[in-house]
Amino acid sequence: MLNDLHSIKKSVQEEAEKAESLQDIQNLKIRYLGKKGLLTGKIKTLSSIPKEQRPEYGRSLNEIKNFTEELLDSKEKAFKASELDTSLQTQQIDVTVPGCYTPSGRLHPVTQVLNEIIGIFVSLGFSVEEGPEIELDYYNFEALNFPKDHPARDMQDTFFISDDVVLRTHTSSVQVRVMEKNSPPLRVIAPGKVYRCDADVSHIPMFHQLEGFMVDRHIRMSDLKGMLELFIHRVFGPETSLRFRPSFFPFTEPSAEIDISCVMCKGAGCNVCSGTGWIEILGAGMINPRVYESAGYDPDVYTGFAFGLGIERVAMLKYEINDIRLFPENDKRFLEQF
Ligand code: DAH
């Protein structure tokens, strides 16, 4: 019986020696040590060995089992190591192969400028509101003190949907909507698309504006001035000067148009500023008491300012673009520059 065990040991040794792959070793493990393996079988029959031979037989069996385990484990390890070696050699990575080009998208320049401007006002405590682009004549005109037959309506080339519904011509339409739903103090900006029937190098039928307004007790024109100065300095740099020119808007009294010193020639005069050294940048004023009446606010209690700004205009000045029509064209050669 002991001879039996010794011949098993010998065959393990011989077969392990002949093994050529990891798979061969794994097969040997199953053959000798698996559930139905040769050595496992011997252990199972231990109880049928005569009592007096059992201790010595058991010891030898154990020894051969351990020997087999160790031998096959170390062979397995060796094969694994050499397989790794060959795969490292045959599957070398060439770090000089050019990579795949993954084009990355970016935000439209108008969106970038809009986000920057919104960020500035949010940092000053303004909240952001939106209104509909298809708007009632009431919010776009009537509530802002443009009566139906008022000549000031001609300032804006309106797209009419029906007698009472328009594509909003300015984001000032959001003012009374916000005032109706909230009470002062208000500090609001309303960015968005607006529409006018107009097209040339400096006009497109759909463009972006940002309306801002503040309503509280004791708001003065100097508050408007200080706030706009801070805003312009953040967008165009602290060396930029501002100039308030008297103007007219039905929803502000007094009204002003605000110019900044030309960002190209720094005020010396060039073709961007038509030689004047100044560029018109926004409209503003103190909110007309008529607007508070539309909103149901007491004009004797509250005062406030409003301003409106064209986003494409700011982007054109910032990036030195001379034709506003480039923005909606979506030519990648243009867009990739921002
Ligand atoms: N809504 C005016 C426009 O589109 C711009 C504007 C002017 C807005 C004066 C204002 C303002 O809030 O006070 O031309």
Nearest atom (ligand 1) to Cα of 213: 12
SS3 27: helix
Check if 175 has its Cβ closer than 6 Å to any atom of ligand 1.
no
Structure tokens at 105: 């998208």
CA distances from residue 285 to 176, 221, 282 in whole angstroms, order as listed: 16, 7, 10
Q: What is the mean pLDDT of residues 185-212?
A: 95
CA 137, 140, 143, 149 torsion-angle sign:
negative
166, 172, 174, 214: residue to mutate for ligand 1 pocket, most atoms within 8 A of CB? 172
CA-closest residue to ligand 1 atom 8: 308
Q: Report the alpha-carbon distance of residue 220 to residue 65 in Å, rounded.
A: 98
Q: How far, in Å, is the centroid of ligand 1 from the Cα of 297? A: 20
Q: Answer yes or no: is pLDDT of 335 > 90.
A: yes
* Domain 109-335 grouped into CATH 3.50.50.60: no
Q: What is the pLDDT of residues 117-142, one digit of tens each?
A: 999 999 999 999 999 999 999 999 99
Q: What is the pLDDT of residues 227-240, one digit of tens each?
A: 999 999 999 999 99
Q: What is the pLDDT of residues 271-285, one digit of tens each?
A: 889 999 999 999 999
Q: What is the mean pLDDT of residues 167-187?
A: 97
CA-closest residue to ligand 1 atom 12: 307
**Which residues, in sequence order, are CB contacts of 63 under 8 Å at separation 6+?**
none
Q: What is the pLDDT of residues 106-115, one digit of tens each?
A: 999 999 999 9
Q: DSSP letters along 272-318, please?
A: TTTTSSEEEEEEEEEEPHHHHHHHT--TTT-EEEEEEEEHHHHHHHH
- Indicate yes or no: pTM above 0.85: no
- Residue reference for tokens 């031998």: 71
Q: What is the mean pLDDT of residues 284-307?
A: 97
Backbone region of residue 189 per phi and psi (left: phi > 0; alpha: psi in -120 to 50; beta: other values): beta
| Confidence (pLDDT) at 53 | 85
Q: What is the pLDDT of residues 232-264, one digit of tens each?
A: 999 999 999 999 999 999 999 999 999 999 998
Q: What is the mean pLDDT of residues 265-269?
A: 90
Rounded to the nearest integer, the mean pLDDT of the chain is: 93
Per-residue pLDDT band for 54 (boundaries 50, 70, 90) equals confident
Per-residue pLDDT band for 89 (boundaries 50, 70, 90) equals confident
Check if 172 has its Cβ closer than 6 Å to any atom of ligand 1.
yes
Nearest atom (ligand 1) to Cα of 284: 13
Q: What is the pLDDT of residues 15-33, one digit of tens each?
A: 889 988 889 999 989 998 9
**Which residues, in sequence order, are CB contacts of 171 under 8 Å at separation 6+?**
131, 190, 191, 192, 194, 209, 210, 211, 308
First and final CA of the chain: distance in angstroms?
88
| Confidence (pLDDT) at 338 | 92
